[in-house]
Structure 1
């Protein structure tokens, strides 16, 4: 094991060890907590001497931590506040959209609350760039993802941010930034596509499984279907050489030929990757982990593997953990630093751009201490491919675990293992 930078935090009578390199946060038992503090003393003393005058269990725990490679001058006690280490930011430029899609987890849901939809101003974006994005970009390379609503409604802001950050990168003031965007594809004019191509954007276009389903769900504000317009826009993206892919959400009930339809979708929208989203509509929660849903996801992964297309779905973290033989110890990612912080239209930095955003708004420089595993997770057969409870869910609901997430992972594993050779990385 490589030496790991780590920090200790005391909170509510508990001791947590935070490993930024792998985004793991581990609650220590009393023995390991005391040993960790002794290890701190050993590190600060700058000697290789074993701390003396400790009992057997503490000495064994100290030796275990030492042998695991923990070595850091950054080990310190704080007030239960972790420094965020985002690998990127998802900027929600507006909650408005020129579509009125049925079951949209963002715009449509917000409209139903009766609250006004927010739109980011130029002044807010400039503040976000100066106070959040640029300081982080001086420390590391970042991903910047423009989101909505429909982000193309605020294209001038996309252009402003891209040009400013490119200029800073060319001057050597910041690390490289990669740009991406999710759009409904309705207003992708040639000049804008040329801009995205020039600046290396990865453009994701939202579609539905079949043209008929698309025209039923993805309607414009005049209740017209939009499939033909989206196909045309996607073709232009590919003709310009812009990196692009599609995102599809398999809402129930699926058509009888769902996997055939998925294969046809790959042909209609050629690309190097595809994203299969999880439905967020409250009426479809029972769909998560249902046999039909899991069979579709497994089949989609098989089809993509045969076609040489990368796929991202709710199964991806499970497959990644299994194929790399790397336990998933955090709900954020399997390995590496994978936190994407969101930035809401009012400039607030949040752990999620939608769903739990209002319940989990945090300061950009001091996100709250992530929740740790609860007792149900410690004995769960899916723990090491699930990563434990989602902190946003815990904060928003006050519950320890998300039963829907638990059900999904527990039902997915037996089906996956039957054909493990198909999905395992070569």
Structure 2
């Protein structure tokens, strides 16, 4: 099967495959499928029946009055989509940087000797969260580290305080999650998780031969048997939502499908979230198009085995399904923000970058200047070449976090390849949004 793309009428992307095509408007996200006869008809001199049909759907050869970057910004304005968050509705609470593992790719500097969060700092942060969400339906709290269960005492204290604050500020529901390597589980923890109906994300990168390449205990030994036993305990408990956080690494790239099969069939986890590779040392560490293709194949594997796999690829599916840009990945659907609460009563507006100074503010600064939340907002298509990209309204250029990590406004070429690859997959796929 051969596939290629070309620009049609200066503003549409025509994806060709085996003499059939899909036309995509990279600003409005409208798309249309053309069979072989229509592709042949389209290549003839207009007007033809296909030209007339496309015109009826809004696909015309008229040049836009402005460039595509400006056209996208105008569309966002017309849709009422703004990049500035309205409030912080969720906190990733970084209790400690201590960890019982030394994962080679972790984006957190672990076991540095820095102080853990104090009870007072946790109380200050949770109070701020509920203040900002008085009368709202839900807030979210995610316990994070290092390995957060090392400070289970803080988790237990924070959950009790959160219940009090929810009552005080008339918040209907608290969504609690913890991201853990799964190597530490006690009966006391299990009882607590069940009582509060936790969502638990187990960080696993594949079967032992893969997982142990990057994920080992501090002493160098594997913890896979212990993790497997703890996962079984969690799955057997009532009221818990247990899933897997899977990170693409050099050890599992090329084997994501097999990895997903093992996670579902052997580990028993049916929900898998694949982390997006984070640029390190100024560049991506994976081939973008290869990763896009692997994510799609892994997604089909998960569906065939009764599981669900979510990744950035789903952003392309959702955008094409709704015909709405999915640009502001730092925001929730209601324009609220998930941020990170750090030791020292500080908040990082980017919940996966705890070191970039422009993201970090004190609670007092955020109370006094709520407009500071805009400091994490993406500048749509900041790079001129973004205007030629088929993924314009799905990627929109690098986020502030990606720009900080690569040290430039221009996106990494592998990031561009990843997003254009996901769009090409999405326009042909018919499995839809999970």
TM-score bracket, shorter-length normalisation: 0.7 to 0.9
Residues 253 and 291 in structure 2, CA contact (< 8 A), matched pair in contact too: no
Superposed, 1:261-280 pairs within 5 Å as: 261-280=259-278
Partners of 2:254 and 2:392 in 1: CA distance = 33
Equivalent in 96, 99, 107 of residue 98 of structure 2: 96
The structure-2 alpha-carbon separation of the partners of 1:390 and 1:356, relative to structure 1 and needing over 3 Å to count, comes to farther
Q: Who is 1:19 aligned against?
A: none
> What's the CA shift for 1:393?
3.3
- Give the C-alpha shift of residue 303 in structure 1: 1.8
Q: Indicate the residue corresponding to 1:372 in structure 2.
A: 379
Change (3 A) 1:172 1:257: closer
Shift of 1:415: 3.7
Distance apart, 1:82 and its partner CA? 5.6
Equivalent of residue 349 in structure 1, options 321, 326, 347: 347
- Deviation of 1:408 after TM superposition, in Å, equals 1.6
Alignment pair present for 1:137 and 2:133: yes
The normalised TM-score by structure 2 is 0.71
* Distance in 1 (alpha carbons) for counterparts of 2:409 and 2:424: 24
Secondary structure of the 2:142 match is strand
- Which position in structure 1 is the counterpart of 2:402? 393
In structure 2, what is the equivalent of residue 240 of structure 1? 237
Structure 2 counterpart of 1:85 = 87
Residue 216 of structure 2 corresponds to: 219
Q: Distance in 1 between matches of 2:427 and 2:157?
A: 48
| SS of match in other structure, 1:341 | strand
Shift of 1:298: 0.7
Secondary structure at the residue paired with 1:89? strand
Confirm or deny: 8 A CA contact 2:279 2:285 kept in the other structure: no
Give the alignment's Cα RMSD to 1 decimal: 3.1
**Following TM superposition, by how much is the alpha carbon of 1:257 offset from its aligned partner in structure 2, in angstroms?**
5.1
| Cα distance in 1 for residues equivalent to 2:274 and 2:282 | 15
How many aligned residue pairs are there? 345
Query: Runs of 5+ in structure 2 lacking a partner?
Result: 1-73
Q: Report if the CA contact (8 A) 1:298-1:416 is conserved.
A: no
Q: 1:333 to 1:211 in 2, by over 3 A?
A: same
Structure 1 residue 156: deviation in Å? 0.9
Distance 1:393 1:257 in 2: 26
Superposed displacement of residue 219, structure 1: 0.9
Q: Deviations over 1:107-161 (max 9, x none)?
A: 35xx6xxx6434111121112122x122023142211111111000111111111
Quote the residue 1:309 is aligned against. Answer: 307
What's the counterpart of residue 52 of structure 2?
Answer: none
Q: CA deviation at 1:347?
A: 2.2
| 1:27-176 matches, cutoff 5 A | 84-108=86-110, 116-130=113-127, 132-140=128-136, 141-170=138-167, 173-176=170-173
**8 Å contact kept, 2:293–2:421:** no
Tell me how far 1:170 sits from its aligned partner.
4.7
**CA shift digits 1:268-302 (9 cap, x unpaired):** 23345211123337379544444432222111111
Alignment partner of 2:393: what SS? helix
Q: CA deviation at 1:325?
A: 2.9
1:99–1:218 Cα contact (<8 Å) kept:
yes
**1:249: which partner in 2?**
247
Runs of 4+ residues over 6 Å off in structure 1: none
Question: Are the equivalent residues in 1 in contact too, given 2:134–2:169 (CA < 8 A)?
Answer: no
**Which secondary structure state, in structure 2, belongs to the residue aligned with residue 352 of structure 1?**
coil
Instruction: State the partner residue of 1:324.
Output: 322
Structure 1 residues 289 and 334: alpha-carbon distance in aligned structure 2, compared to 1, 3 A threshold: farther
Instruction: For 2:336 and 2:346, locate their aligned partners in 1 and report how far apart those are by CA, in whole Å.
Output: 20
The farther-off stretch of 326-335 and 85-94 is 326-335
SS at structure 1 position matched to 2:264:
helix
TM-score norm. by structure 1 comes to 0.72
Q: Deviations over 1:347-369 (max 9, x none)?
A: 21112244353332134343244
Structure 1: tracts of 5 or more residues without a match = 1-63, 71-80
Task: Quote the residue 2:360 is aligned against.
Answer: 361
